[in-house]
Amino acid sequence: MRRKPTSLRLSTTHIIMLSFICVIILGSILLSLPFSAKSGEAVPFVDALFTATTATCVTGLVTLPTATTWSLFGQIVILILIQVGGLGIITVMAGVMLALHRRMGLSDRMLLQDAFNLNTLSGLADFLKKVLFGTLTVELAGALLYMTVFVPEFGARGIWISVFNAVSAFCNAGMDIIGERSLCDYATNPTINAVTSALIILGGLGYIVWWDILRVARLAIRKRSLSVCKNLTLQSKMTLLATALLIMGGGLLILLCERSNPETIRDMSLFDQIQVSFFQSVTTRTAGFATVDQSSLTTASTALCLLLMFIGGSPVGTAGGVKTVTVLVLAVYAVSTVRGKNEITIFNRRIPDDALRKSVAVVGTSLCIAALSTLLLALVTPDASMADIAFETVSATATVGLSRNITPLLSTVGKLIITVTMYLGRIGPISLAIAFSTKRDKPNIIKNPTESISVG
């Protein structure tokens, strides 16, 4: 009896992974064309591939200066890749379907659900509309504010710089077309610091938190009471708590570590020291813009930045890293274990065991990616210090984009290592684990015997 040929069915996670690869390949081909470069000569394909990957994965590490290497066409391609990568390829495709008034089928909804890491299929079309509208609104506002600085300085070109920077900042990409020093020339400019930080934070908070805050704000206005803030969901409370602790705590520690450093902020006024320190705390959480030379940071600040980069932003946003809520879940679990509690609770709510298992998987997978990337890069880059190499690989894993100036010096193999690391960091460790899982265990009534082991 002849068997029917089995059709190849890809899971939603596989489709998401492949969609990123397709966009990266297309971007690489476009950027490798001669008219994509200012010189009119095609850049090496490995650099085009690296640039397409760093833009699509909203990382920001570059082997070639964005402002001086790429023509207007090349910069437009990069900006489109940043926007598509920040929102997610599936999100953009679904947005196009909505614009064409095409109905979203079940498979389309499942793709969108996985792309946003949501727990429900209901209301996805409305959620998508709000995401697209909110993104464009915030980016437009950011561009207009940037123009107050860049247009007087650069003239008409300042408009393009403002648009590029606004999209890059909101998507936490960290790429700019101002020059080769990122935002170092604007380290003490309050407008640039405030606008860039606001865009980074808004992009990193996550869309779910946006709508929840707006819901509670409308409720507070209607009832004329701030007590309704307790009506925020647990997701929003945890996100806002972790974000505030990391920004404030990180900024304060960087200020203390760098205040006597003559190569960074020692010679600045107290106000400028504060704004530079807090900007550094914000940008390390996957944004990638720099207002100080990262190689000039003290050892203590470098170690702190590695931690902040690894944590990253918050779920269902444009940021990378293992995410704030993930780390907070593990921290609460550790405290609960020390206190002998059987449940993980925060804000008088119990965190489900599935969230804990997923948090462990995300952090564990990210650590493995960063460790393996560090080892491989150290093998092919023997002249660089371990601090520089670790900074580079953690930045790539968490899709941050900050570097201690070794990215342009990487060999071809080194560039390929970081390219793969950026890709793995962007698609998400948990998605990677699911995608390479060929089958799932079926629930068994009979369980294996338990045996005690020693840990710790």
For 55-80, the pLDDT digits (tens) are 999 999 999 999 999 999 999 999 99
CA dist., res. 223 & res. 217, Å (int): 10
Confidence of residue 376 (pLDDT cuts 50, 70, 90): very high
Neighbours of 9 (CB within 10 A): 6
Four-point Cα dihedral 289, 294, 299, 302, nearest 10? 30
CB 402 within 8 A of CB 309: yes
Average pLDDT over residues 163-177: 94
Q: Which of 211, 203, 214, 218 is nearest to 165 (CA)?
A: 203
For 11-40, the pLDDT digits (tens) are 667 777 888 899 999 999 999 999 999 999
Average pLDDT over residues 396-416: 94
- Which pTM does this prediction carry? 0.89
Q: Which of 176, 387, 180, 153 is nearest to 283 (CA)?
A: 176
pLDDT at 321 exceeding the cut of 80: yes
Burial per residue of 56-66, b for 16 or more beta-carbon CB atoms within 10 angstroms, e otherwise: bbbbbbbbbeb
Per the prediction, the chain carries an average pLDDT of 86
pLDDT at 271 exceeding the cut of 60: yes
pLDDT of residue 61: 94
Neighbours of 109 (CB within 10 A): 19
> Which amino acid appears at position 193 of this protein?
N
If you ran DSSP here, which 8-state letter would residue 438 be given? -
Average pLDDT over residues 210-234: 82
Q: What share of the chain is helix, strand, coil (3-state, %, to 5)?
A: 65, 0, 35
In the block, tokens 């996670």 appear at 13
pLDDT at 349 exceeding the cut of 60: yes
For 223-233, the pLDDT digits (tens) are 777 776 788 88
Confidence of residue 1 (pLDDT cuts 50, 70, 90): very low
Within 8 A by CB and 6+ apart from 397, the residues are: 310, 366, 369, 370, 373, 421, 424, 425
pLDDT of residue 65: 93
pLDDT of residue 439: 47
CA dist., res. 382 & res. 6, Å (int): 49
Q: Is 448 helix (H, G, I), strand (E, B) or coil?
A: coil
pLDDT of residue 89: 65
117 vs 338, which has greater pLDDT? 338
Q: Is 202 helix (H, G, I), strand (E, B) or coil?
A: helix
> What do you get for the CA distance between the two ends of the chain, in Å?
57
Average pLDDT over residues 237-246: 93
Residue 195 burial class via C-beta count within 10 angstroms: exposed 0-12, middle 13-18, buried 19 and up: buried
pLDDT of residue 380: 95
Highest mean pLDDT among 19-33, 81-95, 304-318, 423-437: 19-33
Lowest mean pLDDT among 8-22, 114-128, 189-203: 114-128
